[in-house]
């Protein structure tokens, strides 16, 4: 079974940014994404769940180039004003050609 | 603290396949699994949430051998007809002997 | 874009331990965490969902030192009596200085 090494990018953000971030990652070359509901607490010390609803955790599997583009775009758009978390990890994907 | 290197397999599928996939991974040697609800969009361009309920994200921590068996079985059973996502990543697990 | 290599620790536990585990990881140096609801089955063969509600999956991104501290504390506190899963994986984080 052939596995393709790709990047999984995880983005955790306040829920009202969900649609915008999905547009952004699709424009950066992502072919799909998975969203789960989440709550949390970050360096600002406020539980998102207490004041404006849950967070969302968006995951997308992409090429190195798309990963770099997504990270750059999210940094530029959101990091000044929002508590967005972004990280990548290495994954090996079945049918990896579908993600590029 | 001793950590055991193992594979974490993540499977994202349409919800109605959940029971079948759980049986499949248990038959392949997985000792447990974790399921979260998810929604998403894939290469077919259809949000699962719009037409038949949420997706499920199934994670299981297994040996390399069990990982290979799970990947092979899911590919054979579902890839021709379903939008199933399967990928692995390397994890280090506390009490890793429980997963083998 | 600079990415910082850090540890992502994932903890899956019975739900009633959630508050305690959050306190524990914060006392070990974690600056934040993300929680998602989960159900599952482990080596004890009992679905958590059948008898006492869902599990929780707690993720936190931390330094190597904090990771070691969290793993040690959870092992000492819970492993004798509870079906807690703990594993780490390598991630690269944007604005990584916020997590240390």
Chain A residues whose CB is inside 8 A of the B42 CB are: 31-32
C-alpha dist (Å) from residue A66 to A46, A71, C33: 31, 9, 26
Q: Which domains does chain C have, with CATH numbers?
A: 3-91 (3.30.70.120)
Cα C15 to chain centroid distance, Å, stands at 12
Render pLDDT for A2-54 as a digit per residue (tens, 0 to 9). 899 999 999 999 999 999 999 999 999 999 999 999 998 876 554 444 444 58
For chain C, the residue count is 100
Residue A7 and residue A27: Cα distance in Å, rounded? Answer: 17
Render pLDDT for A74-95 as a digit per residue (tens, 0 to 9). 999 999 888 899 999 999 999 9
Can you read off the two tokens belonging to residue A28? 């950066």
- Please name the residue of chain C whose CA is at the shortest distance from the CA of residue A79: C95
Q: How many CB pairs under 8 A join B and C?
A: 59
Closest CA to C41 of C3, C81, C85: C85
Predicted TM-score (pTM) of the model is 0.92
Residue C60 CB neighbours (<10 A)? 28
Residue B62 CB neighbours (<10 A)? 24
SS3 label, residue A60: strand
A7: left (phi over 0), alpha (psi -120 to 50) or beta: beta
Q: Residue C68 has what pLDDT?
A: 97
Chain C residues whose CB is inside 8 A of the B33 CB are: 40-41
Find tokens 């499977």 and name the residue: B11
Contact C88, C72 (CB under 8 A): no
The residue among A5, A6, A36 with the most chain B CBs within 10 A of its CB, best to mutate, is A36
Q: Residue C83 has what pLDDT?
A: 86
Backbone angles phi, psi at C4, to 5 degrees: -105, 125
Residue C90 CB contacts under 8 Å (≥ 6 apart), including other chains: A89, A90, B90, C5, C7, C8
Q: Residue B40 has what pLDDT?
A: 87
Can you read off the two tokens belonging to residue C7? 């540890």
Chain C residues whose CB is inside 8 A of the A75 CB are: 1, 94
CB atoms C33 and A41 under 8 Å: yes
Residue A69 and residue A11: Cα distance in Å, rounded? Answer: 14
CB atoms A32 and B39 under 8 Å: no
Per-10-residue mean pLDDT of chain C, 100 residues long, equals 93 94 95 92 56 80 97 94 94 93
- Please name the residue of chain A whose CA is at the shortest distance from the CA of residue B79: A95
Residue C56 and residue C54: Cα distance in Å, rounded? Answer: 7
Residue B98 CB neighbours (<10 A)? 16
Q: Residue C41 has what pLDDT?
A: 82
Find tokens 């193992």 and name the residue: B6
Query: Which residues of chain B, if any, have pLDDT below 50?
Result: 46-52
Quote ipTM for the complex: 0.90
The residue among A36, A41, A47, A65 with the most chain C CBs within 10 A of its CB, best to mutate, is A41
Q: Residue A89 has what pLDDT?
A: 97
Residue B81 CB contacts under 8 Å (≥ 6 apart), including other chains: none
Residue B58 and residue B12: Cα distance in Å, rounded? Answer: 6
């Amino acid at each position: 079974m052939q596995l393709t090494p790709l990047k999984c990018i995880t983005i955790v953000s306040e829920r009202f940014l969900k649609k915008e971030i999905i547009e952004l990652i699709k424009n950066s070359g992502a072919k799909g994404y998975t969203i789960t509901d989440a709550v949390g607490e970050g360096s600002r010390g406020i539980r998102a769940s207490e004041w404006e609803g849950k967070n969302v955790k968006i995951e997308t599997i992409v090429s190195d180039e798309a990963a770099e583009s997504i990270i750059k775009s999210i940094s530029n758009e959101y990091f000044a004003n929002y508590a967005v978390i972004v990280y990548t990890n290495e994954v090996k994907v079945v049918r990896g050609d579908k993600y590029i």
